[in-house]
Structure 1
Amino acid sequence: MKKRYLVPALIAAGAAAAVAIAWPRDQFIAASSPAAWAGTQDNVARGAYLAKAGDCMACHTARGGQAYAGGRAIDTPFGKLTAPNITPDQANGIGAWSADDFWGALHNGKSRDGRMLYPAFPYPNYTRVSRADSDALYAFLRTVPASARANDAHALRFPYNQQLSLAAWRLLYFKPAAFVETPARGAEWNRGAYLVEGLGHCAACHSSRNTLGAPSDGLAGGLIPVIGWYAPSLTSDAEAGLGSWEVPHIVQLLRTGISPRATVMGPMAEVVQESLQHLAVADVTAMAVYLKSLPDTAARREKFVPGPETEQVIAAGKKLYEAHCVDCHGGDGKGLPPAYPPLAGNRAITMDSSVNAIRSVMNGGFPPGTTGNPKPYGMPPFSHVLDDAEAAALLTYLRSSWGNRAAPVTPGEVNKYRAVPLD
């Protein structure tokens, strides 16, 4: 993402919004019954399940740290944010928070003291979470072991470290909302839509972002800032759209990380391992039904036709493939799924963006270790074997063989993404 953030416009908008930020702290907060968030066995169990669905631990737990005690740093184009402690510690966690305070954070993006939260905490998605689910989450978090770990200050650059700038962002890009069912679609579809659009916050990754970090086009895919992975479009059958998939294969992919048609790697592997594999089959099936129903919004692409120079690159790439790849993926590119995924027709290979293919070849990786796939086969890294030109040739061969017809990869693209950190 280019570092042009429309600072003058942001400050001007912030000044114009100065009056608008004086919302009452309890706006959009409807008090619930204490029975809804009481620490009963049912409430706590439900909240624990919802915490898995929202993958809350992924951000609110530092590597090797206590669960939900915060401390995990999140790099953004605007500086570094550090996830807070959400254990029931009175001083440093949410022990002094009420159920209404917690609902205010999820639904309205505001802390207990009225301070506006940064949207790295995905309240633009969580705003659709129901009050009942918020109360159950609150009941669960009150039962986790309290940690006195102090919260680290964010390290954002000016003016992004100012509440006035955040108020301007909210005025432009955020409005509290609620999930509204579509009765004609049926209960299963609506359950899937609720999970995908709300607690699952899929759009937080699977959307492009503008220069101010606001998601701009639903689930149409985008490069995840800083970490250098592309979250493919869920509304394009040329990327990760699922319109042509069978529902059982979608469910298998989301719950195990592998399927006859695809394997997840990179950031999505963590989502499957830490969140999706723990969900009920009925909920994952509902998500699959919803995702499959999304219309294909991608424009039709012309197949790339290689010229003489590209043909030479492809020939060099074929030799590299035969030396390093053919034993697993086969001479026909069909692989041996799910252990060795096919490369022929593999949309991770043929997408317009070559980022994920570059990352996989250069850095290798594993599908997630899940109950349904406890001993995943890994992809070895080749960054120490292939230089930029060789990797580009190999990738160009993959993108132009066995019916694949995608544009070539340049050495410059490989160089840009070969050393991007995995986390």
Structure 2
Amino acid sequence: MKLPHPSELRRHVATYGAYAGALMVRGTELIGKLCLYMLAARLLGAHEAGLFFLCLTWVGLAATAGRAGFEKAAVRHIAGELAFGHARAARAAMLTGGACVVAGGLAATLVTLAVAGPASIMIFGEPGLYHPLLIAAAAILPQALCFFAAHVLFGLDRGVAGQFVQNASWPVFILLAMLAGVHSLAGILSALALANLASALIGLALILRTPLAASPAVPQAQAEKLPGLWRTALPLGMVEIVQVSITAIPVLLLAAFASPTEVGAFSVANRLSQLIWVVIIAIGSIAAPRFAALHRRQDWPALRAQNRRARLLVALTGLPPIALMMLFAGTILHLVGPGYEIAAAALVVMCAGQLVNCLLPCQDVMLAMTGHGGVLRWLNLGQLATCAVAGVLLVPAFGMMGAAVLSALVIAQGALGTTLMVARRMPQVI
């Protein structure tokens, strides 16, 4: 058998090595989050675990609003500018985006502190949520900065490092704190803030150690000027908020109509199903700067090949865990803790939605990185409308199963919508 030429071997390593590294890091995240959820569920009990997951959901929403899309815009601008060797413009995008994220994160923290009391009573009907929300507010700015630092690393084509900062490090840090004796709800929420702060600082250190050096791959005359960073961020910020909202709304609606015990069980099942996004986001984050650079160079054959490669890798790595969760839903939830298996049917339904997402992945990333943020925004607003209307109909009437159907419906809608729009706007990359 003929051995591959060393140059061909290096090309394959360069092509797939980053994806393999990202998946290894996301595997660490999957194990860390699964252990974190299981340990939190056992230590806190169903009632306090429900409060913990509500706080976790709130922090995710607030931090996303605080970032306002500047992290995704930074990926496109950094990768796009470095594709032509524009290091100064890439650095400007990095600094401008960072300043906006700091301001937005502070604003989201202040808003949370102001509304924690009314929200705990008027929205959730749970006065005991007030103090946990106050503590959780401390995690909003660190999480916003952690995610922004990771996206800067994505733009610098350091996807594996970015995955570690954004997704793998902070769950492991919280888990270590819990294993060291932090067992109270207040302590775990404090560990959440400190873990995100540590991850953000690690990300900053990695950014400072990464040179902004790149050589133009094509003549400068072919470089189309990118829009202002805020113009890229504005639609993507709305997309990010909507995406986090449609994953949070089923939990928040259920909290208004069900007991904390049911909310806790559903939250565990919901977060287990969302671990499929571990695979999709891992591969999408590696592909994102490549999508941006290849699109700016107008290299359509390479962009199509990159898109097909990302979709194939998601399918190969995402389908097995979906099958396991659908076949052994009750067993997996029982391992988390006694009583959580009441959400087994809900887990199966939500995995069906993730199945569609896994078969049609990464097309939202394609739209975001190729200047179609406005289209993506309207697609996401459609998802939000579906989520709001269907949520009002399903959750009060069917409780946990209604929330599961709602989650699966909007996830499948997003995957189908983005795929159809890419096929319509850029048929050459499908």
TM-score normalised by L of structure 1: 0.29
Question: Which structure's CA Rg is the greater one?
Answer: 1
Greater share of residues in helix: 2
TM-score normalised by L of structure 2: 0.29
